[in-house]
Chain A
Amino acid sequence: MIAFFIKRLAQAVVVMFVISLISFSIQDNLGDPLREMVGQSVSEAERQELRDELGLNDPFLIQYGRFVKNALQGDLGTSYFFKEPALEVILKKLPATLELVFGASLIILFLSVPVGVYSAINPQSLFSKAVMGFSIIGISVPVFLTAIGLIYLFSIELGWMPSFGRGETLEMFWGWESGLFTVDGLAHLVLPCISLASIMLPLFIRLIRAEMMEVLQSEYVKFAWAKGLNPRRIYFLHALKNTMLPVITVGGVQIGTMVAYTILTETVFQWPGMGFLFLEAVNRVDTPLIVAYLIVVGAIFVVTNTIVDLVYGLVNPTVNLAGKK
């Protein structure tokens, strides 16, 4: 177990190192910090002096070292636009994005498993065929079109659902603004979550169905039948546990994709989350904010991958978490 964490920690360090290098080179090359600070009216000599003072003329490694040192202390620079520490700006938006991902994951989890399992057990049923038909349509519709379609139908035509923003939020611990505990907040969450789930859901249904059908053909499931076990136990313990192994692996990769899709969903719904903020930052060339976003997303990747590996190790006894194969 300890070995597992050390290994993960090493991986995390490598990932964060790469991200920090990329981030640093962006910060170094995008825009001139002096212009942001002093404007045009300062003479070239004074500029040069200021550069020396700020250490902008130092060798690359020293500058990078300073960047990492500051980053480790949580200082990723000040957003040009908001005039606030970039990390704080991003972290303030983190809850909105996390709640969006959380809602979408719930939808995916609670629909894909039963539907996938059912259509694997009864592949010839009308319902299964309908599911397969819908799922291929679902895969073919880009997230932003689903989102636009939902807004058009439920907000503009029917007027049932709000079309943008988070609605009413409650302040929780540590300044966490949550929309999960007000009716208005939940109503605002519905359409964005469905949109975000829309592309992953059919993918997972198809994956679970395919894996489950394969597992149902396996010798150990046949043996379970020969032992006279209850069908429910065979389907939901013997078969499902083995089905979930590849699904967990794919799920881990898909979490990254989901974070990327939050950018799309948040853009359509003007959801005040990190993704929306990131896109605004790109348009404004707000480098510190871009860097802060990359680092936060990198951290999310590392954490989720670790959790996925941990869960996989718990489900699959043949995996030794210490990493010895």
Chain B
Amino acid sequence: MTMSIQNKPTPVAPEKAPNAWQRFKETHVWHSFLKDRVAQLSFTIFMGYVLMALFAPMIAPFDPYDATQMDIMNSELPPSWNEDEGDPQFWLGTDAQGRDLWSTILYGTRISLTIGICAVLLQATIGIIIGLIAGYRGGRVDSILMRFADVQLSFSTMMVAIVVLAIFQASFGTALYQDLAMIMLVLVIGIAEWPQYARTIRASVLAEKRKEYVDAARVMGLGQIRIMFRHILPNTLSPILVISTVQVANAIISEASLSFLGLGMPVSQPSLGSLISSGFEYIFSGAWWITVIPGLVLIVLVLVMNLLGDWLRDVLNPKLYKG
């Protein structure tokens, strides 16, 4: 042990490379990506979604938030491939308020993805910090934090989110709530799921802590925070990556479910979930497209993220916290 510390005065920080792309091309991840058709397809579709979301204002032929562009006379038009009733202006048809469905879906995807990603960023930030502290400090701090995580986990995220949002909606009133809906969704989904990260990070930290390079860093007199963030954190990246992919998918489902219940995004500024919800009333009268098309868009988005998550898990094979 002491021998090796003397021999290796510089701890290894593997994620730091000047030509990262060159090194990435040498990795196992890249090689397996080249071989895996499902992963390639999922990644392509996911990037397609990201581009759609980023450039929604440029792609969309109409602005779904602009009431002046809506004409109630155009409401519930079927997709344009239905030649009898469709209008070539609206290739995916229109919703009950006469909004172009394609534009609304583009903006809805943008909202759904934004909420999903922001919520996961929040989860990850809280979870990583708590996990690092718990794992690195150990002892009483660790047991209190993990106890807290257990309690949080024992309440189902959906249940907590529904109750919290319902209470807020009831106390703020619907109008004010709708303005704050996006922030509230990010906060609720973000805060409810941090233990996922905290437990996994803590487990990796405990494993990494025993390794030599951390001893080496400590012997060199580096500060705790520096050791945690510069030396331990980079080595826990693969579990974080795997969890994050799946968590974004889950967050998008949660957001859609909450919006479907009327506790999320308002119909005037719909996410995919609230769009589906608004179309549900019309499904019995035959206007299936308002529900089905955004539904498919949502399912495919979540599916490709889950497929990517599965693939990453197989490739990186991190030790994830079970249960």
Q: A residues bordering B, Cβ < 8 Å?
A: 26, 29-30, 136-137, 139-145, 148-149, 151-152, 156, 246, 249-250, 253-254, 256-257, 259-261, 263-264, 267-268, 278-279, 282-283, 285, 287, 290, 294, 297, 301, 305
Contacts and interface: CB of A to CB of B under 8 A. Distances in A.
Given A140-B249, A249-B323, A260-B159, A30 B171 contact: yes
Interface string B31-45: 000000000000000
8 contacts: A140-B249, A142-B257, A142-B298, A142-B302, A264-B261, A267-B260, A282-B263, A283-B262
A156 B158 CA distance: 29
B97 interface: no
B255 to A, nearest CB: 10
Contact of B257 (A140, A144, A156, A301): A144
* Chain A CB within 10 Å, residue with most, of B153, B156, B169, B306: B156
Contacts of A301: 154-155
Contacts of B280: 148, 268
Contact of A145 (B153, B170, B295): B295
Interface size class of B (residues with CB under 8 A): 35 or more
B216 interface: no
Nearest to B254: A142
B303 A142 contact: no
Contacts, number: 105
Interface stretch (B22-30, B141-149, B231-239, B283-291): B283-291
A251 B13 CA distance: 40
Nearest to A255: B156
Contacts of A148: 276, 280, 283, 291, 295
Contacts of A139: 306
B72 interface: no
Contacts of B170: 26, 30, 282, 285, 287, 290
B159 A259 contact: yes
Contacts of B158: 257, 260-261
Contacts of A141: 299, 302
Nearest to B279: A148
A290 B153 CA distance: 23
Interface in B134-177: 153-159, 162-163, 166-167, 169-171
B260 A144 contact: yes
* Chain A CB within 10 Å, residue with most, of B170, B253, B260, B323: B170
A240 B273 CA distance: 39
